[in-house]
Amino acid sequence: MKVVKFGGSSLANGEQFKKVIAIVTAQPERQAVITSAPGKRFSDDIKVTDLLITYAEQFLNYLDTKKIQEKIFDRYQEIAQTFELPTEQLTWLKKELQQLQERTYPSAEYLLAAFKAHGEYFNARLLTLILNHLKIKARFIDPREVGLLVSSDPNDATVLPVTYENLARLDYTDEKLIFPGFFGVTKEGEIATFSRGGSDITGAIVARGLNAELYENFTDVDAIYATDPRLVQDPYAVTKMTYREMRELSYAGFSVFHDEAIVPAIEGRVKINVKNTNHPERPGTMIIPYQEFTPITPITGISSAKHFSALYLHKFLLNKETGFTLKILNILYKYGISYEHMPSGIDDLTIIFDNSQLTEAKRKAVSRDIRAVIQPDELRWIDDYALIMVVGEGMINRIGIMKDVILAISDHNINIHMINQGSSEVSIMLGTKSADADKAVKYIYEAFFEQK
């Protein structure tokens, strides 16, 4: 069996639906299908998920939601009309769209999660209706009924292990199973979503739960590229890469595949094939275990992300102070903040945070507590911070890789604030100013790939 997931651009309109149906029916083993919400049909269009967020916000602010409901419904109706689906078969959709604002939710966060999740929910049900209308056997799988259980984090949920046991009990024969992506249900019965782009996560969960031989992730690009095509013209297309390479690159900016989606695939030993819905005949990129991988280049990819801040601390004899790091971690735990990295020297420590973890109030509270407990000689925040990841299984066999990376940047007068190489030797992390990040990625790419 194969699990296939389609992104928002692949399901944006009726013509894209036709391509999806052709792909799903081309191979009988493509039996489980994961849907995203309809994405943009053109550059200035609005994704259905964003329309649903607007719907939730208007409702919470006691505004009239009739027009936004009509706008959302029209997106699905337009798709249905492509297949001449009878109008009465969408009565349920209009009714459930209205009922979203009539239900009771534990909090505004759970309300937002429920509204957002219905972009995928409606699309999965619509695809099921269209397939059956075309005489293709298909069954809609509701996460609430099948037991796709997640943690009680309404908009940043994680899957619970029991989900895999529940999925393994799912009965199916020759029908297509249509799952909505992006959400699961808590033990209390509330809808909770994964982080944005979480349909990738659903696909990996289903692939592991159903013991799939392959997870095909269809998007709007031919392959995963060695770097962002917006930074480098016609970058090198990666044919094969490892789970851990993909996770490292996704963490720092690769938007083709959600970094958290790698984990269920790794646990289930499910290979992933990233492919293009518009050109399904092309091989795409295979993501496999490192034990089955032979690198052909020292570096597989370079990515960057600019959504970071750093807290710099200086205190003489820092390395002699027992429990210094523990005290800091206790302060972060007190305010519910996780950190990304913590490079240190004998008198210095830098703590790097994802900005989504921080508010101005939390920054002030953390600074206040650290000053009181640690009494540093210097404490300052660095807002202009970007992380660059240079990733490749082949780096371990290349002497001088660090020197080459650093020279590629320093030769262009870009200052490096931080360097960290993981113990696995498959990644090098660099910290730079946000304004320098794109240029640094470009120069590293030129040093390794244009020479090749």
If you ran DSSP here, which 8-state letter would residue 346 be given? S
Q: If we measure between CA atoms, which residue out of 119, 127, 141 comes closest to residue 8?
A: 119
C-alpha–C-alpha distance, residues 23 and 120, integer Å: 19
* Radius of gyration for the alpha carbons in the chain, expressed in angstroms and rounded: 24
How is residue 15 written in tokens? 């013509």
- Tell me the CATH number of domain 302-450, given options 3.40.120.10, 3.40.50.720, 3.30.360.10, 3.30.2130.10: 3.30.2130.10
**Domain edges within the chain:** 2-220, 302-450
Does the domain at 2-220 match CATH 3.40.1160.10? Answer given as yes
Q: What is the pLDDT along the chain (452 residues), one digit of tens a residue?
A: 999 999 999 999 999 999 999 999 999 999 999 999 999 999 999 999 999 999 999 999 999 999 999 999 999 999 999 999 998 999 999 999 999 999 999 999 999 999 999 999 999 999 999 999 999 999 999 999 999 999 999 999 999 999 999 999 998 888 999 999 999 999 999 999 998 778 999 999 999 999 999 999 999 989 999 998 889 999 999 999 998 888 888 776 666 667 677 889 889 999 999 999 999 999 999 999 888 888 888 899 999 988 889 999 999 988 788 888 899 999 999 999 999 888 888 888 889 998 888 899 999 999 999 999 999 999 999 888 888 999 999 988 788 888 999 999 988 989 888 888 766 678 898 989 999 999 999 999 999 987 64
How is residue 337 written in tokens? 């903040």
Q: If we measure between CA atoms, which residue out of 33, 36, 56 comes closest to residue 47?
A: 36
Positive or negative torsion for Cα 160, 150, 305, 356: negative
With H, G, I as helix, E, B as strand and everything else as coil, classify residue 123.
Answer: helix
If you ran DSSP here, which 8-state letter would residue 394 be given? G
Residue 60 CA to its chain's centroid (Å): 27
How is residue 328 written in tokens? 């800091």
C-alpha–C-alpha distance, residues 122 and 107, integer Å: 23
Confidence (pTM): 0.85
15 Cβ contact list (under 8 Å, min separation 6): 82
